[in-house]
Structure 1
Amino acid sequence: MIEVNRRLDRLIRQAQAEERIPALSVALYRADRPLFSQVVGTTGNDQPLTVDTPFRIGSVTKTFTAVLVLQCRDEGLLDLDDPVGRHLDLPAHGAATIRRLLSHTAGLQREPYGDVWDTLRAPDTDELVADLVRVERVLPPARRFHYSNLGLALLGHLVGRLRGGTWAEVLTEKVLVPLGLSATTVHPAPTAATGFLVDAYSDQVRAEAPTDFGAVAPAAQLWSSAPDMARWAAFLADPAALDPEGRVLAPATLDEMRWPLTVTDETLWGAGFGLGLILVPQGERVVHVGHDGAMPGFLASVYGRRGGAGTPQAMGCAVLGSSGTAAEVFDLSHRLLAEAAEHDPADIAPWTPGEPAPEAYRGLLGRWWGEGFEYVFSWRDGTLRARGAQDPAGRPPAVFAPLPDRPDVLRTVSGREAGELLRLTRDEQGVVVRMHWATYRFTRVQQTFEGYDFRRPDSA
């Protein structure tokens, strides 16, 4: 562990020096190790730079707003396919659905009406809503990914309206307090780092003016420390480990948020977008889930790691920098996660014997054929499972659960054909002789679709 920490430390120091970042704060959270943290540089003011120094996290704020929206959905306050105008009185664009706003596929223009980034004056809520009549829908709904701060701002306003408070009040009550994210705030603490523009052709730095984003706050307002954000990233990747009681959000809901709804580039397919979350594939069935952030003088990258050999429970990384142009910040979180998983992988838990399969399923374990391909059905960790005989080792199995009132009918709860039924057919002695999975016939020997057994020429 000491050696991998040295490797991480060197990567961080190299990034700070080469990218000329006035202050860089990094934290790596994982359930099986002490928190790793490192800071390099100075705050740019009279406060010392420590691991607890707050930085602006910009659009990482969107992940919090997305969680608040899904909380409302889980409590029956809205449906993701509701038009936003069903819950907000809007003069225009009320037909945009909540799901499309979360996934940036509603087609709304990127920013509120006006030159927000020129004036650095954000509208208040009344102004933002009134100006919707002047806002463009720049693309047809669901046509493609188009990032929109305006869309997430509307969702934050929606959450406040449904909860009877402001977005900031709801965020504190529903997320920050339950998860203990005490360093995450709407406004900067006195100990916050100063954000800078670093001159491209000299070592001069110029402080950026602090900005309050008003009604656009749900898209980009928050400040936080690296340890808070590493913990948040770990929650997005593995909520059951940090919130076992599901007080903030059920793990199944985070699964839903992480499902890719669109790609961000139709040619490269290098990243996807779920419900408010960026998804970055890493190869070998590994994905990093989280968000980047950019505000004047600050860049942030906050991602959790899922899947792959060696990945521990609840692994998240936050990289926060006080330069508005140091693009290495966006890549560094992914490099640190990969480095830690490779050089300090999760401990290998020993295998221990388990309970036998229930009597009703013992006879169907083993090899079956469907659509001309061979599958292996097994009983593991108290569930019936199936894998293709040629599946690579890292591919998750299909997992089944019996229907309460139909023991010979099971639902596929995850993996291949998720949601579909598996039906068992037994002979007079109760032996399973045939199965239908998603209506495809499965038999003990390879057969054509007409039922021809190659080993018995007279079987057709």
Structure 2
Amino acid sequence: MAQSKMERAVRRAQAEGRIPAVAVAVHRADRPLWTFQVGTAGDGPELDADTRFRYGSVTKTFTAVLVLQCRDAGLLELDDPIGRHLALPRHGEHTVRDLLAHRSGLQREPHGDVWDLHTGPDTERLLADLAKAERVLPPQRRFHYSNLGFALLGHLAAAKRGGEWGEVLREYVLDPLGLSGTSCEPGPRAATGYLVSAYSDHARPEPATDCGGIAPAAQLWGTASDVARWAAFLADPAAVDPAGEVLSADTMAEARHPHTVRDESVWAGGFGLGLMLEPQPERVVHVGHYGAMFGFLAAAFGRTGPDQPAGFGAAVLGSSGTGVEVNTLVHELLRLSATDDPADIPVWTPGEAPPADVAPLLGRWWSEGFGFTFSWRDGALQARGDGAPRHAPPSVFARVGEDRFTTVSGREAGETLELLRDGDGRVTAMRWATYPVTRGQETPLLGD
């Protein structure tokens, strides 16, 4: 049923968007890969699952992972100014983090008429022309998208790894994840990109564009199945790359953390470290990126949140620069797959009894007049506030001393939970983030 609905959604988007060719894929760790194509690839290649399309700015997510790899390898820190690692004539003060989050204030495009000429400057020219580039906003003032900033990040990662960006990407990301259908060049199986007339059904082939030194921001080509797998990796690297060969799950979680909102008036989407974040109902988030190049639109997003399938991502690639239905279709495919073919419900199995010194902590507690239930779940002490939404994660604690725990996730993450005992050694109260926690709904005076 889900596949039938998804196929119909693709056909509707292709027809209503008047997109010559659309290729889609849905990747789930618990289901076979689903791919579908409709339309014509243009002169030469036949449209199939191996047809390559332009990823456009989805490329930025690959560059972001390269940079985060460098951080994890100890080659740089995210709050380092980029000029500490890359010789630049100007703008070297911008931090790696701000560039990743598009909040550096650096101008959007490299100096010159890049998109008029359909060819980007080479790397040497790109870096030299930084002397003419502007900082259009103060750093960290607001989200301001910058292809120039991401081009610099790509060359930073390449320099730290001692190679060209495309070579480094192949060695450190594409090959380890088995993304053999993704490359910097279109190859012989590429679809033709078109500009579809607004006032007729004529579709004019768009000129080929080589990004040159801007390649880390927009150069990649590939298949829908490759980029759907990539989107699943962004959302759930533990399912796609269980050995953490490319990037650890913790680092990807850091990348998914919102650093800014894309529209400060309507908080409908955020931006992490190179990743677009699209909140959905029930605490679900779609994480990935959109892409646009002459003749092509792309969208690749993974889905993460409670009760979602593992390793879940979708990609939509279209051969029209005006077929904006691509951008909504990717979210519809994720929703249809999740709701019409939900993840299997795991079997509950009994667990071990809580440690003897933890058992007295379980049950009802109160703080500032509000109730909390402390429990032992999945081998850890947890707490959930009264009335917390069903899908809100509990606070999870880890022991750090005889009478001390650290809140490792959830409410008050990073704060200490301290046990307070009476003269007989019984725990009679606690302090959580310094606030008193008592067995009754009261306002106690706790001594040292």
Superposition TM-score tier, normalisation by shorter sequence? over 0.9
Q: 2:385 aligns with which of 388, 392, 402?
A: 388
Alignment of 1:35-434 (within 5 A): 35-309=33-307, 311-403=308-400, 406-434=401-429
Q: Is the 8 A contact 2:118 2:208 kept in 1?
A: no
- 2:368 and 2:129 map into 1 onto residues whose CA distance is 57
1:212 CA drift (Å): 0.9
- CA deviation after TM superposition for structure 1 residue 144, in Å: 0.2
Per-residue deviation, 1:449: 5.8
Q: Is the 8 A contact 2:58 2:291 kept in 1?
A: yes
TM-score, with normalisation over the residues of structure 2? 0.98
Kindly provide the amino acid, as one letter, of the partner of residue 105 in structure 1.
Answer: R
Equivalent pair of 2:60/2:274 in contact (CA under 8 Å): yes
Cα-to-partner distance string for 1:343-371 (whole Å, 9 max, x where unaligned)? 11111112110111111101101111112
In structure 2, distance between residues paired with 1:358 and 1:407: 13
Distance in 2 between the 1:431 and 1:243 partners? 46
Which blocks of at least 5 consecutive residues in structure 2 are unaligned?
Answer: none
Return the offset for 1:9.
0.5
Structure 1 unmatched runs, 5+: 452-460
Letter in 1 for 2:408: V
| Equivalent residue in structure 1 for 2:437, among 439, 442, 451 | 442
**CA–CA distance in structure 1, aligned partners of residues 216 and 6 of structure 2:** 32
Query: Residue type matched to 2:435 in 1?
Result: Y
CA distance in 1, matches of 2:349, 2:216: 47
1:454 corresponding residue in structure 2: none
Structure-2 separation of matches of 1:397 and 1:308: 12
**Partner letter of residue 191 of structure 2?**
A
Counterpart-to-counterpart distance in 2, 1:376 and 1:156: 48
> Within 1, Cα distance between the matches of 2:87 and 2:20?
44
SS in 1 for 2:365: strand
Tell me which amino acid in the other structure corresponds to 1:297. Answer: G
Distance, in Å, in 2 between the alignment partners of 1:169 and 1:409 is 49
Q: How far apart, CA to CA, are the structure 1 residues paired with 2:76 and 2:313? A: 30
Once the two structures are TM-superposed, the CA of residue 448 in structure 1 deviates from its matched residue by: 2.0
Q: How many correspondences in the alignment?
A: 447
Secondary structure of 2:290's counterpart equals strand
Read off the aligned partner of 2:427 and give its amino acid letter. Answer: V
Asked if the contact 2:58–2:300 (Cα under 8 Å) also holds between the matched residues in 1, the reply is yes
**Could you report, residue by residue, the CA deviation over 1:417-438 in whole angstroms, capped at 9, with x for unpaired residues?**
1111111122344322111111
Task: Answer yes or no: is the 8 Å Cα contact 1:371–1:449 preserved in 2.
Answer: no
C-alpha distance in structure 2 between counterparts of 1:208 and 1:408, whole Å: 68
Q: Residue 107 of structure 1 contacts residue 139 of structure 1 at CA under 8 Å; is this kept in 2?
A: yes
SS at match of 1:363: helix
Q: What is the one-letter code of the residue matched to 2:371?
A: E
Over residues 366-395 of structure 1, what are the superposed CA-to-partner deviations in whole Å (9 max), with x where a residue is unaligned? 111112110111111111111102111110
Q: Which runs of 4 or more aligned residues in structure 1 lie more than 6 Å from their structure 2 counterparts after TM superposition?
A: none
CA deviation profile, 1:223-277 (whole Å, cap 9, x unmatched): 1101111111111001111111111111010110000011011111111000000
Contact between 2:405 and 2:417, CA under 8 Å: does it hold in 1? yes
Distance 2:127 2:387 in 1: 55
State, as a whole percentage, how many aligned pairs show the same letter. Answer: 62
Deviations 1:3-61, CA, capped at 9 Å, x for gaps = 11100000000111111110100000111111111000111121111011110000000
How far apart, in 2, do the equivalents of 1:372 and 1:347 lie?
39
Amino acid corresponding to residue 361 of structure 2 in structure 1: L
Alignment-mate amino acid for residue 50 of structure 2: D
Supply the distance in 2 between the matched residues of 1:164 and 1:355 (Cα, whole angstroms).
Answer: 50
Q: CA–CA distance in 2 between the matches of 1:292 and 1:438? A: 40
Q: Take 1:352 and 1:13, find their aligned partners in 2: how far apart are those partners? A: 43
CA contact (8 A) 1:374 1:388 kept: yes
Letter in 1 for 2:208: P
Q: How far has the Cα of 1:441 moved from its partner?
A: 1.2
Residue identity in the other structure for 2:418: R
One-letter code of the match for 2:199?
A: Y
Give the aligned residue type for 2:87: D
CA-based RMSD of the aligned residues comes to 1.2
Equivalents in 2 of 1:171, 1:429: separation in Å? 62
**TM-score with structure 1 setting the length:** 0.96
* Partners of 1:53 and 1:425 in 2: CA distance: 65
What's 1:6 paired with?
A: 4
Specify the alignment match of 1:457 in structure 2: none
SS at match of 1:290: strand
The answer as to whether partners of 2:300 and 2:316 remain within 8 angstroms in 1 is yes
